[in-house]
Amino acid sequence: MSTQQDRVTGWLADIAHLPLVSIDEQAWLSDVWLPQFAGLAVRTVALILPLGLHNQLVLESVLADSRRYPCAEIQFFSDIPAALDWLTGSALLAEQLERQWEQAHPDSGLNCSASIPV
């Protein structure tokens, strides 16, 4: 992961429409991904909550496992604009990031004037 050299301190993860996470994937998240992520400089994490109950329970389990590591501040959101506003601390900067995303991904169907369906 290149976040160390880039000094990324905030992370946005939109897991709202993530396919069902299997038991093996959940174990990988807890045993492999979490220790690596904990070693990064990320200090704030904004999570767009999963829509399905199964993945919500997986998220709770992975977050419980994360207590073994120094952890970032984690906040939960139902939409990307609110998450970006919290991560950046600036509505103006959040809007600029949303526009950059829309320009880089014109076929994504994102509409940042409302909730962003991803």
Quote the pLDDT of residue 115: 31
Q: Are 1 and 36 in contact (CB under 8 A)?
A: yes
Task: Write down the residue that tokens 């990031």 correspond to.
Answer: 97
Residue 98, token pair as written in the block: 């949303």
Closest CA relative to residue 72, chosen from 28, 31, 48, 40? 40
Closest CA relative to residue 118, chosen from 43, 64, 48? 48
Spatial strand order in the sheet of 10-14: 10-14, 44-48, 73-77
Question: pLDDT tens digits, the chain, 118 residues: what are they?
Answer: 454 566 788 999 999 999 999 999 999 999 999 999 988 889 999 999 999 999 999 999 999 998 888 778 999 999 888 899 999 998 889 889 888 878 887 765 544 433 333 2
